[in-house]
């Protein structure tokens, strides 16, 4: 099946149907439809659904204010959900044939009495039981039949992720680029800090194009890696940054990227010498290593070579840290399959 599934919501009354129409839209999104069109203008529902998509991911779209007359004038192919239609179990073959012959199929979901013209103009009138039933339930069932359950295995990743848990609730929040910038500004990040963070994120993105890793995690970690500098401009700013993100309830994985981004990491022995209580400051995951390396290739908002960075650490009389930086760089180059020192800013 290659047809795109769209939903047309008819009879929406903003004063009465806000919740149920929102549920129709959420069900459409979760069960594989690409978009919903609502007959009555309702900016609140549009904003609410767009916020869900921003937080939970996907490309689902919403539009309101498309009248029935305008919808029908486009001569759409659509399946009308109605308790008076052909039972879905008997209509599946016809539904499949319709989907195979068309690029875009609408499912018409009425909220109140539907005009007779809809019955005559529809490609199919389909009933999910000849009993009174919620349109939300009917829509979920027909979409599940259309996609044969495969829609439930389609992951839509956004900022907010529900981690499956047999008991309790586990939620992970990995902010997107605009949210990261908002967080930085809220904590008083300077123009210079913002420019540096964006430059590091750009280099990290270029590295990620050749390495299998979690780009959303890398992006958030790169953008927020120096947030601790808004409070602490010393070697412990990574620790302070992870504490800030913990208070922001941001993913522990992002916290770890921020915690371990300094230089080539800080060994437990070095931490003890510097009276740093925190331990485990060496980057471990691919995402932590990518951000750490990208940061080593940017000074301010300018690209510097790995040799320049290694030289800087040697001049600070930190030869072991310089060796770790170069070793980590070599590891990332090997994984990427090219010399990442060739990456230029804003290509």
Reported as a single tens digit per residue, the pLDDT across 198-224 is: 999 999 999 999 999 999 999 999 999
Instruction: Indicate whether 347 pLDDT > 80.
Output: no
> Which CA distances in Å does 2 have to 57, 96, 97, 101, 146?
22, 11, 12, 9, 11
Residues whose CB falls within 8 Å of the CB of residue 56, separated by 6 or more in sequence, listed in order = 156, 158, 159, 160, 161
Instruction: Indicate whether 46 pLDDT > 80.
Output: yes
Q: Write down the pTM of the prediction.
A: 0.81
Residues whose CB falls within 8 Å of the CB of residue 131, separated by 6 or more in sequence, listed in order = 83
Instruction: Indicate whether 244 pLDDT > 80.
Output: yes
% residues pLDDT > 70 (the chain): 99
Residue pLDDT, tens place only, 96-125: 999 999 999 999 999 988 999 999 999 999
Where on the phi/psi map is residue 240: left (φ > 0), alpha (ψ -120 to 50), or beta? Answer: alpha
Sketch out the chain's domains with CATH numbers: 4-153 (3.40.1280.10), 177-342 (1.10.3210)
pLDDT at site 346:
76
**Got the DSSP string for 223-279?**
HHTTGGGGT--STTHHHHHHHHHHHTT--HHHHHHHHT-SBTBB-HHHHHHTT----
Q: SS3 sequence, 167-204?
A: CCCCEEECCCHHHHHHHHHHCCCCHHHHHHHHHHHHHH
Residues whose CB falls within 8 Å of the CB of residue 54, separated by 6 or more in sequence, listed in order = 158, 159, 176
């Amino acid at each position: 099946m290659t047809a795109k599934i769209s939903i047309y919501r008819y009879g929406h009354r903003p004063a009465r149907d806000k919740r149920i129409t929102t549920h129709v839209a959420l069900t459409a999104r979760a069960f594989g439809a690409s978009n919903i069109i609502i007959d009555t203008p309702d900016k609140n529902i549009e904003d609410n659904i767009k916020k869900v998509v921003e937080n939970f991911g996907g490309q689902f779209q919403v539009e309101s204010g498309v009248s029935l007359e305008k919808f029908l004038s486009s001569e759409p192919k659509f399946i009308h959900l109605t308790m008076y239609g052909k039972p879905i179990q008997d209509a599946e073959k016809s539904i499949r044939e319709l989907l195979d012959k068309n690029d875009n199929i609408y499912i018409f979901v009425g909220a109140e009495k539907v005009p007779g013209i809809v019955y005559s103009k529809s490609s199919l009138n389909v009933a999910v039981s000849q009993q009174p039933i919620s349109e939300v339930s009917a829509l979920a069932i027909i979409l599940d039949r259309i996609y044969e359950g495969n829609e439930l295995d389609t992951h839509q990743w956004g900022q907010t992720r529900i981690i499956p848990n047999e008991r309790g609730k586990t939620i992970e929040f990995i902010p997107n680029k605009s949210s990261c910038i908002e967080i930085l500004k809220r904590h008083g990040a300077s123009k210079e800090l913002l420019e540096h963070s964006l430059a590091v994120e750009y280099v990290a993105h270029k590295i990620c194009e050749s390495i299998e890793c979690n780009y959303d995690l890398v992006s958030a970690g790169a953008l927020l890696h120096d947030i601790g500098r808004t409070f602490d401009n010393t070697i412990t700013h990574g620790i302070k940054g992870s504490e800030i993100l913990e208070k922001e309830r941001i993913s522990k994985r992002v916290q770890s990227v921020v915690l371990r981004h300094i230089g080539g990491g800080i060994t437990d022995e070095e931490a003890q010498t510097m009276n740093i209580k925190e331990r485990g400051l060496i980057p471990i995951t691919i995402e932590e290593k990518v951000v750490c390396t990208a940061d080593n290739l940017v000074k301010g908002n300018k690209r510097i070579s790995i040799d320049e960075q290694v030289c800087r650490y040697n001049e600070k009389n930190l030869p072991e840290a310089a060796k770790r930086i170069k070793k980590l760089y070599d590891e990332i180059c090997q994984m990427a399959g090219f010399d990442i020192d060739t990456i230029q800013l804003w290509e």
